[in-house]
């Protein structure tokens, strides 16, 4: 291979790499885990705290932040919901382009009325979702969310062990980011702004 041919070959290889990079666009610098290109099973389909059937497809055009929790949770769930409230405040006007969905992992106690009191108390735009035990279990499985009842003495009778991260979907309904429990509102807002 002549030296001139090697340089031409190298130039074409570099050009091809640049074209591929341009086509893919710049990599997003998410603080959370980038889920771009991953697929979940069936789209979320449950009933909201006003009794309306809801699917994740209902929110196309907005970013969706999905959190699985329960209203009797002593710490993790109210803390996460308060962090999401703060995130919305940090986003200002952009918060209107974001939909927070709280999916109960405890449908036996989290009735429509309980969700209607709990979820919008953090932000009136937030929506609580529930279903039958079987419907909730199916959705937990589709989103790879762990939830298990833990019997404990006391007035509530049991608590729920569960995954506590946030799933973020883009305006087309595709999964884009996973944020672990305890992520600061400033970091959540940072990642949401990158998608907006």
Name the pairing type of β-strands 63-69 and 166-169. Answer: antiparallel
Instruction: Identify whether 142 is part of a domain.
Output: yes
Q: How far, in Å, are 77, 157, 164, 172, 190 from residue 152 at the CA level?
A: 18, 6, 20, 42, 39
Instruction: Identify whether 7 is part of a domain.
Output: no
Q: pLDDT band at residue 83, thresholds of 50, 70 and 90?
A: very high
Residue 161 CA to residue 70 CA, distance in Å, equals 10
Instruction: Identify whether 1 is part of a domain.
Output: no
Question: How many H helices and E strands in the chain?
Answer: 5, 10
Instruction: Identify whether 146 is part of a domain.
Output: yes
Q: What is the pLDDT of residue 195?
A: 95
Residue 193 CA to residue 196 CA, distance in Å, equals 5
22 labelled ligand-binding: no
Q: What is the pLDDT of residue 39?
A: 82
- pLDDT tens-digit readout, 2-40: 444 333 333 333 333 333 333 344 457 999 999 998 887
Percent of the chain with pLDDT strictly greater than 90:
65
Instruction: Identify whether 15 is part of a domain.
Output: no
52, pLDDT greater than 70: yes
Instruction: Identify whether 2 is part of a domain.
Output: no
Q: What is the pLDDT of residue 85?
A: 98
Among 190, 178, 193, smallest CA distance to 32 is for 178
Q: How many folded domains does the chain comprise? A: 1
Residue 176 CA to residue 84 CA, distance in Å, equals 17
Q: How many CB atoms lie within 10 A of CB 107?
A: 21
190 labelled ligand-binding: no
Phi-psi region of 29 (alpha: psi -120 to 50; beta: other; left: phi over 0): beta
* CATH number, residue 168: 3.40.30.10
| Angle in degrees, CA 65, 170, 188, rounded to 5 | 45
Q: Which residues pair with 166 in a beta bridge?
A: 67, 179
- pLDDT tens-digit readout, 134-164: 999 988 888 888 999 898 776 668 889 998 8
Q: What is the pLDDT of residue 142?
A: 86
Query: For residue 30, which phi and psi values (nearest 5 degrees)?
Result: -70, 145
Instruction: Identify whether 182 is part of a domain.
Output: yes
User: Residue 140: CA atoms inside 13 Å, Cβ hemisphere, count?
Assistant: 23
Give residue 121's domain range.
30-195
Instruction: Identify whether 150 is part of a domain.
Output: yes
176, pLDDT greater than 80: yes
Residues with Cβ within 8 Å of residue 61, at least 6 apart in sequence: 171
Higher-confidence residue of 57 and 193: namely 193
191, pLDDT greater than 60: yes
pLDDT, averaged across the chain: 85
98, pLDDT greater than 60: yes
- The residue assigned the tokens 């949401």 is 192
Q: Which residues pair with 102 in a beta bridge?
A: 67, 128
């Amino acid at each position: 291979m002549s030296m001139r041919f090697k340089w031409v070959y190298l130039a074409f290889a570099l050009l091809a790499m640049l074209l591929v990079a341009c086509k893919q666009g710049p990599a997003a610098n998410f603080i959370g885990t980038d889920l771009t290109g991953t697929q979940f099973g069936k789209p979320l389909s449950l009933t909201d705290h006003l009794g309306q059937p809801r699917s994740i497809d209902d929110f196309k055009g907005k970013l969706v932040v999905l959190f699985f929790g329960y209203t009797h949770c002593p710490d993790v769930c109210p803390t996460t919901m308060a962090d999401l409230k703060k995130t919305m405040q940090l986003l200002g006007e952009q918060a209107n382009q974001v939909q927070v969905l709280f999916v109960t992992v405890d449908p036996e106690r989290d009735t429509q009325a309980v969700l209607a009191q709990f979820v919008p108390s953090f932000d009136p735009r937030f929506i609580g979702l529930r279903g039958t035990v079987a419907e909730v279990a199916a959705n937990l499985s589709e989103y790879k969310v762990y939830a298990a009842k833990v019997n404990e003495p006391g007035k509530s009778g049991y608590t729920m062990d569960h995954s506590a991260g946030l799933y973020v979907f883009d305006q087309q309904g595709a999964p884009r980011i996973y944020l672990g429990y305890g992520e600061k509102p400033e970091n959540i807002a940072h990642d949401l702004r990158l998608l907006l």
